[in-house]
Amino acid sequence: MLDALQGAGHTTLAAAHLEHAAGLSADEQTVALAAVRLLGADVMAPYVLTGRTPPAEESDAIGLALGALPPADPPPAAPPEGSEQAWVRAWIDWALVTVLTRVDPTFVAPKTPEPPSPPQCDTGAARRRPPTAVPGDAVREGWVPWSVRMGQLSSLALPGLDGPVHETARAGATGLARGATRAVLRRDFPVAARITRWLAWLHAEHVELPLDPAPLTEHIALLGGGGRVALDTAISRRLLGLGPV
């Protein structure tokens, strides 16, 4: 995927992954389909960020994953009223379908998910301070759990996506900066990379930030490890205009 983000070649991602799994057991094929869904909109990131159109087999592979594991219907309520895990999953599914239908207008999802419930906040607290409109009752929760939850939604931090979650990011830039800094200090680089990606997205949206996400991204890329950190930092670099990954 990192090569694809650099615009190198025309190798498919989801299609190649499912083709490799075709000769495996039924259970392993299900796991392969779930892996595509787990990446969410990030499976489309190389096309979104390089401007390339995905080949038909790529869209077909994602359609297969969506058909095998349909999004929740109706979408779950936002936490704390609903399950946090199900709500996060519903937003990731929404982002995947939304991105794919934008980069490939010919794509028709087997099941198009409705947007989940918008993020909730404590109205009493919101009257006493600027509203943060964050997922869950984060005004009372504080910025630590909120920033971690936003990190779980990092695949939504892509150009062309916008909605209630993105509005919470715009309203909560300070909380995201605190969350990213805290994660770096704790050497929790996977969480730091995910939250910093929101800061990179905000920078691309010309939102004023309390810190410069560029050196933070480079620091995480240098010290963090693993494919997920590499992917998030590569996308952040693209959003920040830092050149090749």
Say how far apart CA 135 and CA 121 lie, in whole Å: 7
Q: Block means of pLDDT (10 residues each) for the chain, length 245 residues?
A: 56 75 77 84 90 86 83 76 85 90 81 63 30 41 86 95 91 94 97 98 96 97 90 95 72
Amino acid in position 11? T
Percent of the chain that is helix, strand, coil (3-state, to 5): 65, 0, 35
Say how far apart CA 28 and CA 95 lie, in whole Å: 25
Domain map (residue ranges) of the chain: 1-117, 119-245
Nearest of 97, 159, 141, 217 to residue 150 by alpha carbon: 141
pLDDT recorded at residue 132: 34
Say how far apart CA 220 and CA 185 lie, in whole Å: 11
Task: Record the pTM.
Answer: 0.83
pLDDT recorded at residue 14: 78
